[in-house]
Amino acid sequence: MFLHGTSRINKQGHLEIGGVDTVELASNFGTPLYVYDVALIRQRARGFKETFEKHGVKAQVAYASKAFSTIAMVQVVHEEGLSLDVVSGGELYTALAGDFPKERIHFHGNNKSRAELEMAVKEDVGCIVVDNFYEIALLQEITEQYQKKMPVLLRLTPGIEAHTHDYILTGQEDSKFGFDLQNGQADEAVRLVQNSKGLELLGIHCHIGSQIFETTGFIMATQKLFAKMKEWKQRIKFVPQVLNLGGGFGIRYTEEDQPIPVSQYVEVIIEEVKKQSKQLEVEIPEIWIEPGRSLVGDAGTTLYSIGSRKHVPNVREYVAIDGGMNDNIRPALYQAKYEAVIANRMNDESDELVSIAGKCCESGDMLMWDVQLPKANPDDLLAMFCTGAYGYSMASHYNRLPKPAVVFVEDGEAQLVVKRETYEDLVKNDVKYKVTVKK
């Protein structure tokens, strides 16, 4: 059994997170319930920041809020002195609602609408990461309309493939994101932005993938970007002030995963950027990174109540819980694997092989296959670990199921930060159809 962060087994034999008994959490806030270990989030944030500070390198660590975006999360990010990466008008609105400093907001996305870009420009966000030629033209119009000067980074695809799941590769040449480094698109984008009155070119950005357990990809990406920077320096005298190498740092979901310390990623990146800068004879650019999953992934645990079971002789034992693909789509979407425990009986022997079924009316709604657990009874509490990234963010109303509540736990206290939805919430935006009967 691997316990993350502040998780431990208390005297009652229950799982405890942040000094709070999960049985009490389930009793007070209901299930399904997303529980976040705030101390672990803070520890990870400080690990990234302190490594840059230790090496005396100018940097920004921007939390990729697509992993988990709420006002409370934005507040914690601000308290820890991080920047914030948003990818939609909704994430930007959440950041603003949480009073996040606008100058530390970076706006990403491959198809930002005019309304979203206008919102970003009017609010004077710190920078927009430009993804395509359509966006350059749109931003030029908007900055002229509002008489603003907008700092931008250009997102580039360096042709580096991270060793990860095909669904979340983003750095290779065949990608929906960014300007290609090889075919002249990046050169044309630099030219257009430099010639624009309303855009200020701060630097360049790339992101090579997600759930990465080695540093080779980051080294290769840095080398490719500096090779292009050498061309720009010689040909057009352009040297980026900012080099954003994205995120994708892996976490441990199961014993198959072997992540490295966050400091190791950062130190390798710093070392390679310093080396390449020295060879190019330029000042070290400000380094930006964008951890998302690695800040919140293993800080999140989802609590479920166990309900029915089904025995298929000589095949499988199904145990059903009161959530499923509506609150965690990742197992159905790309076969993500997790670990779990019976939170109210942590000291019991794991003597039964079961598969955890969700309650959605969908054969593919299976959260876990063939896991060893103590024999589960109705109303036992299942805790699924490492659900902090992309659980709440990708939750849906499939089968008209309300979205779960979110609780932050820290120093023995629990605070509700997102209310559980009600059935009334499900229909509040519905409008009745006025039926007309033809005679």
**Residue range 88-110: average pLDDT?**
98
Q: According to the annotation, is 8 in a ligand binding site?
A: no
Q: Is residue 182 part of a domain?
A: yes
**205-250 pLDDT tens trace:** 999 988 999 999 999 999 999 999 999 999 999 999 999 999 999 9
Q: Would you say residue 424 has pLDDT above 70? A: yes
Q: According to the annotation, is 421 in a ligand binding site?
A: no
Q: Is residue 157 part of a domain?
A: yes
What's the maximum distance between 2 C-alpha atoms anywhere in the chain?
Answer: 83
Q: What DSSP element (H or E) covers 409?
A: strand 405-410
The burial of 124, by beta-carbon neighbours within 10 Å (0-12 exposed, 13-18 middle, 19 or more buried), is given as: middle
Which tokens belong to 74? 């934005």
- Annotated catalytic residue within 127, 206, 360, 361: 361
Task: Quote the CA–CA distance of 127 and 425 in Å, as a whole number.
Answer: 35
Specify the pLDDT at position 57.
96
Q: Is residue 330 part of a domain?
A: yes
Q: At what angle do helices 114-122 and 133-146 cross, to 10 degrees?
A: 50
Q: According to the annotation, is 362 in a ligand binding site?
A: yes
- Provide the phi-psi class of 258: left if phi over 0, else alpha when psi is between -120 and 50, else beta: beta
Q: Would you say residue 352 has pLDDT above 80? A: yes
State the average pLDDT for the chain: 95
Q: Would you say residue 174 has pLDDT above 80? A: no
| 62 closest CA partner among 215, 202, 184, 244 | 244
Same domain, 157 and 249: yes
Residue 436: pLDDT band with limits 50, 70, 90? confident
Same domain, 228 and 342: no
Contact 375, 349 (CB under 8 A): no
**Residue range 324-350: average pLDDT?**
97
**369-415 pLDDT tens trace:** 999 999 999 999 999 999 999 999 999 999 999 999 999 999 999 99
Q: What DSSP element (H or E) covers 320?
A: strand 316-321
Specify the pLDDT at position 164.
59
Same domain, 337 and 400: yes
Q: Is residue 414 part of a domain?
A: yes
- Beta carbons within 10 angstroms of residue 310's beta carbon: 11
Q: Would you say residue 6 has pLDDT above 50? A: yes
Same domain, 155 and 211: yes
How does strand 15-17 pair with strand 316-321? unpaired
| 61 closest CA partner among 87, 81, 42 | 81
Q: Which residues are CB-neighbours of 133 under 8 A, at least 6 positions away?
A: 185, 188, 189, 192
Contact 181, 145 (CB under 8 A): no
Specify the pLDDT at position 165.
55
Task: Quote the CA–CA distance of 57 and 286 in Å, as a whole number.
Answer: 7
Q: Which residue has the tokens 């990010």?
A: 77
Q: What is the DSSP string of 330-392?
A: HHHHH-----EEETT-TTS---EEEEEEPSSS-TT-EEEEEEEESPP-TT-EEEEES--SSSS
Same domain, 137 and 261: yes
Could you say which DSSP state residue 431 is in?
Answer: -
Pick the last residue of a domain from 269, 291, 313.
Answer: 291
Specify the pLDDT at position 159.
82
Q: Is residue 47 part of a domain?
A: no
- Structural domain count, the chain: 2
**32-85 pLDDT tens trace:** 999 999 999 999 999 999 999 999 999 999 999 999 999 999 999 999 999 999
Percent of the chain residues topping a pLDDT of 90: 92
Our answer to whether residue 206 is catalytic in this structure is no
| 338 closest CA partner among 358, 322, 317 | 358
Q: Is residue 160 part of a domain?
A: yes
- Dihedral, 94, 100, 104, 105 alpha carbons, nearest 10: 10
Domain range for 201 is 108-291
pTM for the structure as a whole: 0.95
Which tokens belong to 265? 């990623």
Q: According to the annotation, is 252 in a ligand binding site?
A: no
Task: Quote the CA–CA distance of 38 and 409 in Å, as a whole number.
Answer: 6
Q: Which residues are CB-neighbours of 396 under 8 A, at least 6 positions away?
A: 325, 326, 329
Contact 344, 380 (CB under 8 A): yes
Q: Would you say residue 167 has pLDDT above 70? A: no
Q: At what angle do helices 71-79 and 89-97 cross, to 10 degrees?
A: 60
Q: According to the annotation, is 330 in a ligand binding site?
A: yes
Contact 82, 63 (CB under 8 A): yes
Which tokens belong to 432? 């009745």
**Residue range 147-165: average pLDDT?**
86
Same domain, 274 and 385: no
CA distance readout (Å), 433 to 426, 427, 430, 436:
17, 13, 9, 9
**Bridge partners for 317 per DSSP:** 311
Same domain, 232 and 317: no
CATH number, position 154:
3.20.20.10
Q: Would you say residue 168 has pLDDT above 60? A: no
Contact 340, 328 (CB under 8 A): no
pLDDT: which is higher, 319 or 214: 319
